[in-house]
Structure 1
Amino acid sequence: MQSQDVAPRPAAEAVDPVVDVERAEAALVEHYPRLVRLAYLVLPPSLGRNRRVVTAHSLIQRALPRGRAASAPAIPAQSTGREGDPGYAFLRLRVLTTALEAGLPLRRLAWPKRSQLPPLLPQIWGLRLFPRSGGADELALDQRLSALSGPARAAYVLRGLEKLPDGEVRDVLAAAGVEDVDEALEEADAVPAQYALLDSPEFDPCSLQARPTDLMRRRQHTKAALAAGAALLVCGALLGMPGEGWGPDGPAAPSYAQNPAAEAALDPAQLTKVPALAWQSAARTDFSVWPARGDLADDSALLRRALAVWARPGEKVTVSATPGTPSGGPSGAPQLLYAGDVDNARVVILYDGLRIARYAEPLDGTDGAALDFSRVDNATRAEAGAVVLSRADGNVRYLMAPWVKKAAERDLLKPGAGAMDLTVTDGVTSPMASPATQQTGACSSWNALQVTDSTGTRLLTDLAELVPARLTTGRPGATKDVSGTQALHTWAPYSCWLGAMRSAGVRTVNAWAYARQALPDGTGAADWVCSRAETWRGGGERVLAQFRTPGATHAAVAAKAQNVPACGARDPHVLAGVLWKAQAGSWYLLAAGAGDTESIRATGGVRGSSEGSLLAVRAKQGAQAELQGTLESGRSIDGLK
């Protein structure tokens, strides 16, 4: 969330109030490019580059004093520079004050300030103006500045562009009406002091590029524009006043289609709303029998915006979809699963038989709408147990299936620690820690969602998608949910590698302990586990063969592959190897296959063979070997790479 700009209070007099027009005009002409650049940098980036350019010029052109001081000399002394020039100081303060005012939100019951409205002049019809693009450093700085509040941007620009020391920055900000100057300076400190970049063409609103706006559509929409203008004249008294609310279609792109079927799909009255207890008598238990929940399930305006954005998301809408998930509009009226306030957003969850779609908009303002998709076709009861409602501050909230009796949070790395119950209100869980953004190298915990219904208990994990992935264990083709003590201990050393499965459209992840091998130096036995992630789209499967020595907290990845049938229901076999160093310093090639492996042979940098499913051969550090196994059926298999 971007910081909110601070409302200026009436400005204190930081410069001599007696400044004659001629002196101010001289400073304006001499330093016009500098003042426009100052205004452009302080204006909120949410205005867009074209409007920031036009607004910056407009603010400078309205910055002159309205009258002439009585004591002003007829011919003012010529300025030798910005330092010590009261005319420039006066203009800079006026520009800074109005630029900060322009970033304030419009209030429904208060008259807007002139700087908050689009500028009357200058105006150029049919063209968009924006500064020339800079390099990657300028773009990164612009993104950092856009995350600051208006006063913090002003502090940064006064330091970098005006070369003012902090004492003078404090005086200017206080005179411009900033209430908490210390907070603005502290916030500006978070941005690296790349002040030289402020002189880049990226931030020069006087050196511009011009592009057409709607050149291809201008003629065909002239009549529509005239009709819209007439409607605005009739309704101007109501629609012309500034407001903070959404339009009927929210942040959706304009619609030019006259397709009755498409328009019908946007009608909130056509949404499917399943009764609360329908799932108890339904022949199937999946997302299609979820009831409509949430305190805004009857908010037609919100539902209309969600449907319109799904059909045609606007430029400011952030759209994401898991691999293999189409992001186009619904073919008909979808099913409503949830609509309500969650954390700092209004959230709508919809389902069209193939996808879950989540629309989210901020509670305050009209910036930051998001639309996310996840494929869920052919979901079973076990996989349709939860949907992610929101992620905030490292936590996640879920919307639970109506058949879930109990929800809890469990740390996979601590299988003996027990589960912590979650509160569920109208299907929505209390927040729990999410591993979705956790880095693999810093993995000290991995929290999973534990759900219990009439069929048993299972674990689901957040992999940065709308639908959490189901965790299972056991030989492929005979897997079971992770619930018992043995299954939990099987998963514990391998949980942190779930991070490698994030954002891949994962449906289930299975951990199969397929072999246990005595170490050649007699220090114990190592475990071999194969983890396989199945996806909703039926492709892109990821397979990891992992090796864990006695006493190790985490496992090491011995081999990995993608889009292979190994370790899956179609091919429940696996063979992998690893170079291992004994405590005495000797190196070995260790390899293991599943129980029905009859023999293993190593070639290349390490040569050796063994009867059975285990191989241990002396090797040199860094040696490369090729593995091949033979199954009891006579079929040959290659080792995972």
Structure 2
Amino acid sequence: MQSQDVAPRPAPGSSADRSVDVEQAEAALVEHYPRLVRLAYLVLPPGLGRSRRVLTAHALAQRALPRGSASTPVIPAQNGGAGDGRDGDPGYAYIRLQVVRTALEAGLPLRLRARPKRAQLPPLLPQVWGLRLFPRSGGADELALDQRLATLSGPARAAYVLRGLERLPDGDVREVLTGSGVADAEVTAALREADQVPAAQYALLDSPEFDACLLQARPTDLMRRRRHTRAALAAAAALAVCGALVALPGGGWGPDGAAAPPYAQNPAAEAALDPGRLVKVSPAAWKTSARTDFSVWPARGPLIRDSALLRRALAVWARPGKAVHVSATPDTPFGGPAGPPQLLYAGEVDNARVVILYDGLRIARYAEPKDGTAGAALDFARVDGATGAEAGALVLGRADGNVRYLTAPWVTKAGERDLSKPGAGVMDLTLTDGITSPLASPATHTGTCTTWNVLQLTDASGTQLLSDLGELVPARLTAGRPAAPKEASGAAALRTWAPFACSLADARGQGVRTVNAWGYTRQQLPDASGAATWVCTRAETWRGDGSRVLAQFHTPGGLFGAAVAKAGDVPACGPRDPHVLAGVLWKSKGGDWYLLAAGDKATASVRATGGVTGSGQGNLLAVPTKQGAQAGLEGRLKDGRSISGLR
């Protein structure tokens, strides 16, 4: 809680007053414009809507310049020194005071017999035609703070923002509010009301959610705009005929004229939250479409006509409450849909009612208990560009270590396979309206990994393997050279994956789209005990970056391989650079230690550096060494390019 001590106000005309001219105020406005717009956006009433708040915030900041010179008490811009030139700047203090004052005026209700203040009316400038502008969506914490600030009075909201964003003590906050026309009694009440919002959330005020200068654009309602354009042309013709009458003395429009109501509704936002406008694809659409993605999935489930459930799901998507558990794969945007989304499923799964929606970029899964809405959950996953096997299944629900999937309409058969045992065969899963019977999920494995169950799907194009990695969309498994990977369901691919199935645990919760395993070479062991296998696995994410590469080593007779090198965001073992070099310290059965290294077949030579020295022609290297030795690896490809070992 902030201190309630109030500094004495300087007497009028004292040395504490300082004259501010237009040039000084303009310099402060230009230098700190983004911060002043953010301040206005946060203080403005959220009921204006995000798009109008943005335009109004810019208008208030741009109208804050004095007409000539002004006098303002020097209120520190930020106690403690921000280091950006605002401390003690009377120009900034003046502009900030005007922004707060007009933002508070904008929140006052219009009165029938009172002349409206300029800030209460929609801004004439800036104007954007045909687009809605709004800040980027933040996380659940930012949304919760915005909803909490909306419940405060205007002065209390301004007090909280001045404390958190401007770092002003309560004495200076009181001076700013009093200078903005707030009565002393209201100031005291506002400070007390602002204490109800935790100060621990001050840092959220600097997030992109509240940056009215970093904006996203969406079109307005195009059909409504077309109708308005035709109406405007007709109105212009009528004005041309009646222009002489308008110019007559005593004539003209009334005080409000043709201005829209100050709190006009947003048709596009309303349509996106209307369950009656949800897109429901025909069950046969996929049969004639050239596309094999989520856009041709039909709406399935017994509750697809339950308007109350669908309305709750859409409302929670747009405005999740504090009690809703929200999760998302990394870098998946939050925020409601831009238009009516597509309904994929609505029904009861285990002990929950589940709704799955698709907006062309994301899958949103809403789940609530059968006996109420307490404990509801909202999960997001990116699926942009998903097609074929990547759009083959979605997680419908998890319970007791098992997972159920909703499969694509083109899937004809589903099964469960242990990836670590390629010869064990497939256990068939029943498909009921595209829903699989439960199968054991590896996403909940803890401790030692001994099995890794995956989903096997069959359709007209062949058979694919998908692995649950703890997210809404299972990851597609492939095998082979990075430039031309194939489905991991073939016999050779299954043998490649088997020793390394448990390495998929490293990719859980990372937003992984596909994982490819490539057995890039085999190496005869120095003690003549057989040949070891070198495999690199590369996990690609839905966001494009964040790839994860593992170099793995498997000796004869061992059940599982070992990860010997790991790297992130590197091109190695991928389609852009299908080369890899890695090494491992290995102990023979006789107790001797060796540095073993291997590159892919395009490697011409390998050299060890550091604590171990040695080199060899070709893509393999075996050098005697000691336990615990530290070594680096350098290789040269057949085209002359050098390559470094993964670490």
Does structure 1 residue 365 correspond to structure 2 residue 368?
Answer: no
Deviation, 1:259, is 2.9
SS in 2 for 1:382: helix
Q: Decide whether the 8 Å contact of 2:152 with 2:193 is kept in 1.
A: no
Q: Decide whether the 8 Å contact of 1:385 with 1:401 is kept in 2.
A: yes
SS in 1 for 2:444: coil
Q: Decide whether the 8 Å contact of 1:325 with 1:374 is kept in 2.
A: yes
Q: Report Cα offsets for 1:156-210 as digits up to 9, x if no partner.
A: xxxxxxxxxxxxxxxxxxxxxxxxxxxxxxxxxxxxxxxxxxxxxxxxxxxxx99
The partner residue of 1:287 within 277, 282, 294 is 294
The partner residue of 2:278 within 263, 271, 274 is 271
> Take 1:492 and 1:357, find their aligned partners in 2: how far apart are those partners?
33
The partner residue of 1:611 within 617, 621, 626 is 617
Equivalence for 2:309: 302
Deviation, 1:365, is 2.8
| TM-score, normalising length: structure 1 | 0.60
Instruction: Output aligned runs, 1:378-527, within 5 Å.
Output: 378-439=385-446, 441-527=447-533
State the AA in 1 paired with 2:324: V
> Take 2:264 and 2:396, find their aligned partners in 1: how far apart are those partners?
32
> Take 1:309 and 1:343, find their aligned partners in 2: how far apart are those partners?
21
Deviation, 1:261, is 1.9
> Take 1:465 and 1:527, find their aligned partners in 2: how far apart are those partners?
31
Does structure 1 residue 566 correspond to structure 2 residue 558?
Answer: no
Equivalence for 1:530: 536
Q: Decide whether the 8 Å contact of 2:318 with 2:336 is kept in 1.
A: yes
> Take 1:444 and 1:214, find their aligned partners in 2: how far apart are those partners?
49
SS in 2 for 1:553: coil
The partner residue of 1:583 within 586, 589, 611 is 589
> Take 1:278 and 1:381, find their aligned partners in 2: how far apart are those partners?
15
The partner residue of 2:355 within 348, 351, 357 is 348
Q: Decide whether the 8 Å contact of 1:600 with 1:611 is kept in 2.
A: yes
Instruction: Output aligned runs, 1:219-238, within 5 Å.
Output: none
> Take 2:322 and 2:420, find their aligned partners in 1: how far apart are those partners?
42
> Take 1:580 and 1:466, find their aligned partners in 2: how far apart are those partners?
39
State the AA in 2 paired with 1:450: Q
Deviation, 1:373, is 0.5
Q: Decide whether the 8 Å contact of 1:295 with 1:340 is kept in 2.
A: yes
Q: Decide whether the 8 Å contact of 1:547 with 1:556 is kept in 2.
A: yes
Structure 1 pair 607–340 and aligned structure 2 pair: CA distance change class (3 A): same
| Structure 1 unaligned residues grouped into runs of 5+ | 1-124, 128-208, 217-255
Q: Decide whether the 8 Å contact of 1:126 with 1:213 is kept in 2.
A: no
> Take 1:322 and 1:215, find their aligned partners in 2: how far apart are those partners?
28
Deviation, 1:366, is 2.5
SS in 1 for 2:385: coil
> Take 1:126 and 1:294, find their aligned partners in 2: how far apart are those partners?
42
The partner residue of 2:337 within 325, 330, 335 is 330
State the AA in 1 paired with 2:296: V
Q: Decide whether the 8 Å contact of 2:511 with 2:541 is kept in 1.
A: yes
Q: Decide whether the 8 Å contact of 1:409 with 1:450 is kept in 2.
A: yes
| TM-score, normalising length: structure 2 | 0.60
Runs of 4+ in 1 over 4 A off after TM superposition: 209-216
Equivalence for 2:319: 312
SS in 1 for 2:366: strand
Deviation, 1:561, is 0.3
Does structure 1 residue 637 correspond to structure 2 residue 643?
Answer: yes
Equivalence for 1:164: none
Equivalence for 1:620: 626
When the two chains are superposed, the root-mean-square deviation of aligned CA atoms in Å is 2.0
> Take 2:357 and 2:482, find their aligned partners in 1: how far apart are those partners?
33
Deviation, 1:260, is 2.8
Q: Decide whether the 8 Å contact of 1:463 with 1:503 is kept in 2.
A: yes
Q: Decide whether the 8 Å contact of 1:629 with 1:638 is kept in 2.
A: yes
> Take 1:567 and 1:520, find their aligned partners in 2: how far apart are those partners?
26
Q: Decide whether the 8 Å contact of 1:126 with 1:214 is kept in 2.
A: no
| Structure 2 unaligned residues grouped into runs of 5+ | 1-150, 154-191, 200-262
Deviation, 1:442, is 1.4
> Take 2:500 and 2:197, find their aligned partners in 1: how far apart are those partners?
54
State the AA in 2 paired with 1:364: D
> Take 2:315 and 2:265, find their aligned partners in 1: how far apart are those partners?
14
Q: Decide whether the 8 Å contact of 1:399 with 1:427 is kept in 2.
A: yes
Deviation, 1:483, is 1.4
Deviation, 1:258, is 4.2
